[in-house]
Amino acid sequence: MIVLLLFLVPLIGGLLSFFIKNDKVVRGWSLLVSLVVLFLSITSNIFLKSADHLNFSAPWMGNLGSSFSLKLDGLSQVLTLLTAVSYPIILLATWRTGYRKPNNFFGLMLLTQAGLMGVFTATDALLFYFFWELALIPVYFLCSGWGHERRIPVTFKFFIYTFTASVVMLVGILYLYFQTPDRSFSMQSFYALKLAADTQSWLFWLLFVAFAVKMPVFPFHTWQPDTYEQSPTAVTMVLSGIMVKMGLFGLIRWVWPIFPGAFHAWGDVTMTMSLIGVIYASLIAIQQDDLKRLIAYSSIAHMGIMVMATFSESAIGIQGVLMQMFNHGINIIGLWIVVELIERQFGTRKLSQLGGLAQKAPALATLLVIVALGNVALPLTNGFIGEFLMFNGIWSSNTANAHRIIFTVGALISIILSAVYTLNMIKKIFFGNTNTITENAHDAFLNERIVLGILAVIIVVLGVYPQPLLDLGNSFVDSLMKNVKVANLIVK
């Protein structure tokens, strides 16, 4: 039952938010709802582990063979926990940011959280598609209604990319539905399909493209930097910290178990696409002067490594992906918070217009350095263990030796490039002399210090002791590898 509450609480809370006209009240209400969701998520991960609490199924559209089925396993627990942790942090960090029609803004934010919780727990393909759209549609309105000056054309581009991807995914889901003997959208019915190699291939590309747009993977990434730049920072945090994980989730939950033969056959191609995106995005990030665009390209590079590790088809690689999905979300949200604080105080995101903030804002400087070091995977920070496992997975990938070496070396080069643009960002913002823009700077406010402090603690604790997060995903990874191995034997 608790898995249903993870969806219902933000859904009902979001709908009620539309009727709360007072700014402070709707902010407080939204924060309260997000804290309740966090409590439910922690409870489901620590205290309530029986199947009765972690599974829910009810009739939905029985005539179509679809049910309202939700499940919390290792994969969904990691991502629902990330969603639950992120929302209170985002709301607290942007507490001082003013919004036109705040009731509508916070209502749409909570509806997006409800959609995300549904995506990460649905075990019915039609229900999964429903939640996918529920998560995306509010974001269109958030970007177009509260974004920056170029928000309309940028949101239109975002809409075209994601709407086209959604239609492509729906075509694939419907085809699979008509192949099931009992005409069912159940995940297990899809897993049980024995599809021919050529059928697997074209269906694989339908769903892969749909999920690749969301992650995004090169060359489907062009919507992302503009959208991140023009969206309100709170929405950008949701997009880059949580929503991009929907694509990776789709690959692991749906694509690999249903099309194991095609997943293996096209692994080299998709890993090559991802590696190109990683190097390309890292080089572009080094050249950026706009903070939002720098972090946007950084996110593309990090997601590319996760995609490569996913297609390594190794248990250690998948375990690393699960770790890094959570850790990347924490780190990237921390970076966006700093961007929000800088833009709100100085009215600029240009690195060339900043400098010397360490003299005026030592607390902010210290906390940003911790977040940034997590982002570059320094040992004893949360990013290290996930990247270490992913690189091990890429090195042990089920591919030719020459390809494996190229993929691993390319991934390692991305670490160096990541350090270059991240440390350069820190230098330009906090070191050197102050200027006319930064000479009257003040340090972060208490609520901002608390939020960044919480993130810093998570980064250090998971860097020193990552075992609790590893334990969440262990059983899922074992189950996934067994199921895929059996499916591969059937295909052969």
pTM above 0.75, yes or no: yes
Beta bridge partners of 70: 56, 122
Beta strands in 187-337 (DSSP E): none
CA distance 242 to 120: 11
Q: Which two tokens stand for residue 456?
A: 């810093």
Residue 342 forms part of a structural domain: yes
CA distance 122 to 120: 6
Residue 203 forms part of a structural domain: no
CA distance 55 to 367: 39
CA distance 110 to 38: 13
Confidence class for position 50, pLDDT limits 50, 70, 90: low
CA distance 130 to 292: 31
Cα-based torsion angle of the residue sequence 16, 22, 28, 32 in order, rounded to the nearest 10 degrees: -10
Domain coverage including residue 363: 276-492
Residue 314 forms part of a structural domain: yes
Residue 90 forms part of a structural domain: no
pLDDT in tens, 203-258: 999 899 889 888 878 887 778 788 888 888 888 899 888 988 999 999 999 899 88
pLDDT in tens, 406-450: 888 888 888 889 889 888 888 888 887 888 887 887 877 888 888
- Going by the DSSP 8-state scheme, the letter that residue 122 receives in this structure is B
Confidence class for position 394, pLDDT limits 50, 70, 90: confident
CA distance 85 to 102: 22
pLDDT at 48: 62
Residue 208 forms part of a structural domain: no
Written as one letter, the residue type at 442 is H
Written as one letter, the residue type at 165 is A
Q: In the predicted model, what is the mean pLDDT of residues 291-314? A: 88
Residue 466 forms part of a structural domain: yes
CA distance 397 to 313: 6
Which of 300, 303, 304, 370 has its CA nearest to residue 331? 370
Written as one letter, the residue type at 177 is Y
CA distance 214 to 158: 10
Residues written for the chain = 492
Contact call for residues 318 and 394 (beta carbons, < 8 A):
no
Lowest mean pLDDT: which of 42-51, 57-66, 219-228, 390-399?
42-51
Q: How many domains does the chain have?
A: 1
pLDDT at 491: 46
CA distance 307 to 393: 11
Tokens 């239109």 belong to residue: 156
Residue 420 forms part of a structural domain: yes
Tokens 């930064």 belong to residue: 438
CA distance 488 to 492: 6
CA distance 478 to 448: 40
CA distance 44 to 50: 9
Residue 296 forms part of a structural domain: yes
pLDDT in tens, 122-177: 999 999 999 998 988 898 889 888 877 787 888 888 888 888 888 889 999 999 99
Percent share of the chain, pLDDT over 90: 25
Cβ-proximal residues to 486 (8 Å cutoff; 6+ apart), any chain: none
Contact call for residues 128 and 161 (beta carbons, < 8 A):
no
Q: In 3-state terms, what secondary structure has residue 69?
A: strand
CA distance 268 to 283: 23
Which of 367, 125, 351, 105 has its CA nearest to residue 238? 105
C-alpha to C-alpha distances, 212 to 81, 157, 248, 385, 410, nearest whole angstrom: 23, 16, 8, 25, 20
- Going by the DSSP 8-state scheme, the letter that residue 445 receives in this structure is P
